[in-house]
Amino acid sequence: MEPTYVLSDAERDRLATVLRSVAKHPYEDYEAFSRAVGDLVARGEVPGFFTEVCARIRADRDSGASDAHVLRNCPLDEEIPVLDLDDPVADKHAKKKTFVGEAFLELFAQLVETPLLSYATRFNGDFFTDVVAINRYSGMQTGFSDSELVYHNDRTAHPVRADFISLLGMNCPDGDYIYTGFVDGRDLLAHLSEEDRRQLRQAQFVTPFDVFSRDNNKDLTVSEVHPILENHHSFRYLDTCTTAAPGAPESAKDALLALKNAMVRADKTRHRIRTGDLFTFANQDGLHSRDKMEINDPARARRRWLLKTYAFRDAAAAEQHADRWLDGVRGRVGD
């Protein structure tokens, strides 16, 4: 996938200097950190090129021109720690003393007007999480493994799902080729008949919770019965896992097969996230995957680290889940 914008080294360094001025700690006091980043915008300290790029992305999303964008050569922390894969979250908190990557993601979210959210039972409720291969999940179908991932949207089984996901490449080895695939929901819709769409809009499907969610909450097993197709082209689907609910009619199973066929036929985008890349895309209005195209050093590939944020579509979408907020923290939801 061609980048939407490639920062020059001078632009990257200028923006990094601005972001380093944020003195608040994103993992100890997210609200203060978010306000400090917002103050940069209010004081006019954000370079004009970046506000223009974010305005372009916001316009693309609003118009339907594109729901997937790449920015290249983005600012990162000067020192990127090597994480202990037994417990990378605790290790990051112990080793990472600067937060340029986090400030960049927060600034991007504010400029494209997509409020961040976090999950209270995941990663201590952090708003900035890590896509990294945790040892105990090796080979499993979870984003926190070293495996490929089928087409899905994040947290399919959960009642609250992000509208957008942003991934910032912190450590992406050059010699290994791991791609993030994306298929736009509109392209899927184009390959489905009216009857298939009608069936997919019915609450007659279920999705099991992923292993990481079950480890954090033993009460989670299988989702409530849910539709697959929502809004105009939002798909709630985890390939190979989402199935017709017990007792669902044959027409539901036929529609599920039609969706699988549509996934084969639909146009797809693939992007190899490099160190310093930001890949941002729709979580609900599309599906994404992880494809290991060429791994030349498995141990090195397992060190791949992406810093990740979840975001609502806009402030109005965040308001819909206001009853799930905890402790007055903006965007923090339960399971």
Tell me what percent of the residues of the chain surpass a pLDDT of 90.
86
pLDDT in tens, 76-124: 999 999 999 999 999 999 999 999 999 999 999 999 999 999 988 788 8
Whether the Cβ atoms of residue 236 and residue 196 lie closer than 8 Å to each other? no
- Judge whether residue 327 has pLDDT over 70: no
For 207-245, b/e burial (b = at least 16 CB within 10 A) is bbbbebbeeeeeebeebebbebbeeebbbbbbbebbbbb
Q: Count Cβ atoms below 10 Å from residue 48 Cβ, excluding itself.
A: 8
Q: What integer pLDDT is reported at residue 99 of this predicted model?
A: 98
pLDDT in tens, 237-251: 999 999 999 999 999
Tokens linked to 204: 């007659």
How many Å separate Cα 273 from the centre of its chain? 13
Whether the Cβ atoms of residue 153 and residue 287 lie closer than 8 Å to each other? yes
- Judge whether residue 323 has pLDDT over 70: no
Q: How confident is the model at residue 326 (pLDDT cuts 50, 70, 90)?
A: very low
Q: How confident is the model at residue 220 (pLDDT cuts 50, 70, 90)?
A: confident
Q: What integer pLDDT is reported at residue 69 of this predicted model?
A: 98
pLDDT in tens, 162-180: 999 999 999 999 999 999 9
- Judge whether residue 256 has pLDDT over 60: yes
Question: Do the bridges between strand 286-294 and strand 243-244 make them parallel or antiparallel, or are there none, so unpaired?
Answer: unpaired
43 Cβ contact partners less than 8 Å away, ≥ 6 residues apart: none
Mean pLDDT, the chain, integer: 94
How many Å separate Cα 8 from the centre of its chain? 25
Q: What is the pTM of this model?
A: 0.94
Angle CA 331–276–176, to nearest 5: 110
DSSP string computed for 149-180? EEEE-TTTTSSS--SEEEEEEEE--TTSEEEE
Nearest to 309 by CA among 180, 137, 130, 143: 130
Q: What integer pLDDT is reported at residue 253 of this predicted model?
A: 97
Report how far residue 88's alpha carbon sits from residue 165's, in angstroms, rounded to the nearest whole number.
20
Report how far residue 2's alpha carbon sits from residue 313's, in angstroms, rounded to the nearest whole number.
24
Number of DSSP helices (H) and strands (E) in the chain, helices first: 11, 16
- Judge whether residue 330 has pLDDT over 50: no
pLDDT in tens, 15-54: 999 999 999 999 999 999 999 999 999 999 999 999 999 9
Looking from the CA of 293 toward its CB, the CA atoms found within 13 Å total 13
Tokens linked to 20: 């380093």
Report how far residue 153's alpha carbon sits from residue 48's, in angstroms, rounded to the nearest whole number.
33
pLDDT in tens, 139-156: 888 888 999 999 999 999
Q: How confident is the model at residue 324 (pLDDT cuts 50, 70, 90)?
A: low
